[in-house]
Amino acid sequence: MSKLGEVIPQGVDYELTEAGQSLAAPLKALEDWVKEHMASVLEARDVYDEAL
């Protein structure tokens, strides 16, 4: 959703819809998972790449 501002030069303010805001918790959970597992994901990728 966007609103045209009354400032010159005009600007646009954006905000997430309710549906967009509902993604905050799942995205935070994904971020936490990535931080916790990144080392093992990178290691698995290296093992896979070496096997090619």
pLDDT tens digits along 6-49: 667 778 889 999 999 999 999 999 999 999 999 999 999 999 99
Q: For residue 15, what pLDDT is reported?
A: 94
Query: Would you kindly state where each structural domain of the chain is located, as residue ranges?
Result: 23-52
Task: Tell if the pTM clears 0.75, that is, is over it.
Answer: no
SS3 at position 12: strand
Report the pLDDT value the prediction gives residue 22, as an integer from 0 to 100. Answer: 97
CA distance 42 to 48: 10
What confidence category does residue 5 fall into, taking pLDDT thresholds of 50, 70 and 90? low
Q: How confident is the model at residue 1 (pLDDT cuts 50, 70, 90)?
A: low
pLDDT the model gives residue 11: 81
